[in-house]
């Protein structure tokens, strides 16, 4: 079923007119209320009256992750934080996280777009869903939860982890839908087999997988292991969280809900619009958000877009699976990691140089593993192993608290990590694509 | 009297120990005693050599992290009970030993025990009070 036929099957002309109206209203609203946008829009000398068609969006400035970082915590918001109903965070590029805020109507919007996403994936109102995305500050768990509640599904708010319990819930409660990261789905398959279960006989028939990049071959593995339809969901906290785009059962790209999240694909170097079907950086404008709307937010995700109507009947444009990043961000166990976060930690610790390397690998079980190699500073070399272990533990604790995930730290000899002219190759990603 | 030991950080990578030791050999530096404290990712090589300043200079130049550590060297008769007699003195006087290692001397019936103490001055005082032979820099270099 299509959750909201009125907007999801709107013809292109009417949709573009709606988008233009919403964009003009957004420029007024954010220009007046957000300290950040007030300045930025004035600098760009653009006004709401200048937005006559949706093409006029090109007159507006871009917003970047650095803008959010520089205005930490609430400087981007269009409402005072006393009027914000919910806050979430995601990884920042240095020491502070990226903060996002939701007004009441934004929370309703979140429920609406996630309900659309669930229906895209094939959910029916009598279904039961097991949400194994983390609940808490991360937007994954609660976002899917709000959509499931809006649809009236029976929700199992399992959150992530406790794999044996996840499998027991699946066996005993018999949910038809599973929502979690694709690598966790594979990990659960391994655990199931270790427990003597046959994953192909599971109750899960539809999977809503995202929060990290995953390939077509990984999709095939998941579908074979679980005998499940594995669909891709896309989102980012800065826009709303999960629910920005979702694959329908035809799996020919992810429908992006452009009546509320207006997409552009640009050349990341020139900023100019990329042709339909050509790879570029996805830029999203939140047309109706009230708490923290963003204008032309550069996602740094590389996709291509198509405006052809899908066989499912939805007229929303479709983006490809994310093909890469314009920056060096990696995702480990569903969590965003910026190498610069590590650099920030190392610069602030007296025992270390900011020379490091990240080695990411995927264990046989399917879980991602992150090792941080750090050069030891000569003056902190201690003759005693326990002191070196203490230094390692200290670095590890600092990194873990900034990243929000546990990484192993390994001390290496000074000058042993490759230096290079220009940008040092900080990340070695050994995971198969 | 405190002796100089050299401690070298070695990554747990093939050839690192060989690289360090062959470097010393090429500089005509003689190793008197050696031990390695290991951990999963790295080891700490501890050596007593005849020319410590030269050794550290060469190691640093070759890119190793090397430092001097003060240790105390004790000479005991090379017979059963030789070590435990010394250790009893420490126990009775609450002297804390961080680590130690030992080796046999060439042309005598003595064994050499190398100790790292929290408080080397206190340890030396206690050893002297108990007539245990603490040997000095010159003697180590002449071994």
**Residue-by-residue DSSP string for A128-165:** EEEE-SPPSSSHHHHHHHHHHHHHTPEEE---S--HHH
What residues contact A292, with CB distance under 8 A and at least 6 apart? Answer: A76, A77, A78, A79, A84, A100, A101, A102, A106
CATH topology of domain A335-429: GMP Synthetase; Chain A, domain 3 (3.30.300)
Fold of B2-70: VC0802-like (3.30.2130)
**At a CB cut-off of 8 Å and minimum separation 6, what does A275 contact?**
none
Structure tokens at B108: 């005598």
Q: What is the residue-wise DSSP string for A331-389?
A: EETTEEE-HHHHHHHHHH-TTEEEEEEEEEEE-TTS-EEEEEEEEEPGGG--SSHHHHH
Assign 3-class secondary structure to chain B.
Answer: CEEEEEEEEEECCCCHHHHHHHHHHHCCCCEEEEEEEECCCEEEEEEEECCHHHHHHHHHHCCCEEEEEEEEEEEEECCCCHHHHHHHHHHHCCCCEEEEEEEECCCCCEEEEEEEECCHHHHHHHHHHCCCEEECHHHHHCC
Interface test with B, best of A387, A396, A413 (most B CBs within 10 A): A413
Q: Specify the CATH number of the domain B71-141.
A: 3.30.70.260
- Report yes or no: A89 and A137 within 8 Å, Cβ to Cβ: yes
Distance of alpha carbon A118 from alpha carbon A427, whole angstroms = 35
| Model pTM score | 0.84
B41 has a chain A CB within 8 A of its CB: yes
Taking contacts as CB-CB distances below 8 angstroms, the residues of chain A near B14 are: none
B57 touching A, CB under 8 A? no
Q: What are the tens digits of pLDDT across the range B81-108?
A: 988 999 999 999 999 999 999 877 766 7
The 8-class DSSP code of residue A97 comes to P
One digit per residue, the tens of pLDDT, for chain A of length 433 reads 999 999 999 999 999 999 999 999 999 999 999 999 999 999 999 999 999 999 999 999 999 999 999 999 999 999 999 999 999 999 888 778 999 999 999 999 999 999 999 999 999 999 999 999 999 999 999 999 999 999 999 999 999 999 999 999 999 999 999 999 999 999 999 999 999 999 999 999 999 999 998 889 889 999 999 999 999 999 999 999 999 999 999 999 999 999 999 999 999 999 999 999 999 999 999 999 999 999 999 999 999 999 999 999 999 999 999 998 999 899 998 899 998 888 888 888 888 877 889 999 998 888 899 999 998 888 888 888 888 999 999 999 999 999 888 899 999 888 888 766 556 678 899 987 6
Of the candidate CATH numbers 3.40.640.10, 3.40.50.300, 3.40.50.12780, 3.30.43.10, the domain formed by A1-327 belongs to 3.40.50.12780
* Chain A contact set for B99 (CB, 8 A): 384
- What are the tokens at B33? 């005693």
Report the residue from A384, A410, A416 with minimal CB separation from B41: A410
Q: Tell me the CB-side half-sphere exposure of residue A72, using CA atoms within 13 A.
A: 16
Q: Give the C-alpha separation, B44 to B34, whole Å.
A: 11
Give the angle B33-B36-B42 at the CA atoms, nearest 5°: 150
A384 near B CB under 8 A: yes
All CATH 3.30.70.260 domain ranges of chain B, comma separated, are 71-141
B101 in contact with chain A, both atoms CB, cutoff 8 A:
no
To the nearest whole angstrom, how far is the Cα of B7 from the nearest Cα of chain A? 6
CB A360 within 8 A of CB A431: yes
Can you list the alpha helix ranges (DSSP code H) found in A87-138? Answer: 104-121
Q: Cα–chain-centroid distance for residue A281? A: 15
Q: With beta carbons less than 8 A apart as the criterion, state whether A289 and A350 touch.
A: no
CB A65, CB A91: distance < 8 Å: no
| Residues forming CATH 3.30.2130.10 domain(s) in chain B | 2-70
CA–CA–CA angle A79, A82, A87 (5° rounding): 80
Cα dihedral sign for B62, B65, B69, B73?
negative
Contact check, Cβ <8 Å, A413/B39: no
Name A149's Cβ contacts closer than 8 Å, sequence gap at least 6: A111, A155
ipTM: 0.77
Q: Which residues contact A389 (CB under 8 A, 6 or more apart)?
A: B39
Which token pair is A186? 């594979």
My answer on whether omega of the bond before A360 falls inside 30° of 0, hence cis, is: no
Pairing of strands A98-102, A86-90: antiparallel
The ranges assigned to domains in chain A are 1-327, 335-429
Chain B residue numbers with beta carbons less than 8 Å from the beta carbon of A412 are 11
Residue A262 Cα distances to A139, A238, A354, B123, B126, angstroms? 20, 14, 39, 76, 80
Q: Does B64 touch chain A (CB under 8 A)?
A: yes
Query: Can you tell me the distance from the alpha carbon of A172 to that of A186, in angstroms, rounded to the nearest whole number?
Result: 20
Please choose, from the candidates B70, B67, B48, B50, the residue with its C-alpha nearest in 3D space to the C-alpha of residue B59: B67
Cα gap A407→A330, rounded to integer Å: 13
CA distance A372 to B14: 20
Please give the structure tokens belonging to residue A170: 């699946």
Backbone torsion region of residue A263, taken as left when φ is above 0, otherwise alpha when ψ lies between -120 and 50, otherwise beta: beta
At B19, list the tokens. 């690289």
């Amino acid at each position: 079923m299509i959750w909201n036929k009125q907007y999801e099957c709107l013809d292109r002309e009417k949709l573009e007119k709606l988008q233009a109206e919403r964009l003009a209203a957004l420029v007024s609203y954010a220009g007046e209320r957000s300290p950040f946008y007030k300045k930025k829009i004035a600098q760009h000398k653009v006004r709401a009256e200048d937005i006559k068609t949706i093409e006029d969006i090109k007159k507006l400035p871009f917003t970047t992750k650095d803008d959010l970082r520089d205005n930490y915590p609430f400087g981007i918001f269009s409402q005072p934080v006393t009027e914000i109903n919910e806050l979430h965070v995601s990884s920042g590029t240095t020491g502070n996280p990226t903060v996002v805020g939701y007004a009441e109507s934004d929370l309703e919007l979140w429920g609406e777009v996630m309900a659309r996403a669930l229906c895209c994936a094939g959910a029916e109102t009598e279904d039961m869903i097991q949400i194994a995305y983390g609940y808490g500050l991360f937007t994954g768990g609660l976002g899917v939860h709000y959509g499931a509640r809006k649809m009236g599904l029976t929700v199992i708010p399992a959150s992530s982890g406790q794999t044996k319990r996840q499998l027991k819930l699946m066996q005993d409660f018999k949910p038809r839908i599973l929502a979690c990261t694709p690598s966790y789905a594979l990990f659960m398959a391994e655990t199931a087999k270790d427990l003597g279960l046959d994953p192909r006989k599971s109750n899960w028939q539809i999977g809503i997988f995202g929060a990290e990049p995953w390939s077509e071959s990984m999709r095939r593995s998941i579908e074979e292991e679980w005998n499940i339809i594995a669909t891709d969901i896309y989102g980012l906290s800065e826009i709303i969280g999960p629910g920005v785009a979702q694959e329908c059962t035809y799996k020919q790209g992810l429908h992006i809900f452009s009546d509320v999240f207006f997409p552009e694909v640009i050349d990341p170097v020139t900023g100019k619009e990329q042709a339909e079907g050509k790879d570029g950086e996805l830029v999203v404008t939140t047309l109706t958000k009230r708490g923290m709307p963003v204008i032309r937010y550069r996602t740094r995700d590389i996709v291509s877009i198509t405006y052809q109507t899908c066989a499912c009947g939805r007229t929303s444009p479709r983006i490809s699976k994310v093909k890469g990043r314009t920056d060096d961000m990696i995702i480990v166990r569903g969590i965003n990691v910026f190498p610069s976060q590590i650099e920030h930690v190392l610069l602030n610790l007296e025992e270390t140089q900011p020379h490091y390397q990240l080695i990411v690998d995927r264990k046989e079980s399917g879980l991602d593993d992150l090792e941080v190699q750090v050069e030891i500073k000569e003056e902190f070399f201690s003759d005693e192993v326990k002191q070196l272990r203490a230094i390692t533990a200290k670095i590890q604790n600092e990194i873990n608290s900034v990243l929000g995930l546990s990484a192993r730290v390994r001390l290496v000899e000074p000058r042993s990590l490759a230096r290079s002219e220009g940008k040092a190759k900080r990340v070695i990603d050994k995971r198969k694509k | 009297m405190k002796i100089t030991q050299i401690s070298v950080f070695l990554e747990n990578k093939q050839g690192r120990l060989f690289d360090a030791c062959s470097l010393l050999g090429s500089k005509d530096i003689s190793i008197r005693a050696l031990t390695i404290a290991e951990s999963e990712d790295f080891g700490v090589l501890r050596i007593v050599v005849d020319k410590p300043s030269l050794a550290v200079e060469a190691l640093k130049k070759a890119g190793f992290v090397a430092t001097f550590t003060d240790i105390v060297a004790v000479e005991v008769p090379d017979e059963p009970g030789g070590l435990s007699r010394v250790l009893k003195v420490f126990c009775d006087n609450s002297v804390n030993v961080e680590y130690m290692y030992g080796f046999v001397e060439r042309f005598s019936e003595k064994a050499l025990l190398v100790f790292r103490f929290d408080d080397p001055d206190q340890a030396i005082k206690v050893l002297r009070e108990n007539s245990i032979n603490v040997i000095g820099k010159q003697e180590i270099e002449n071994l």
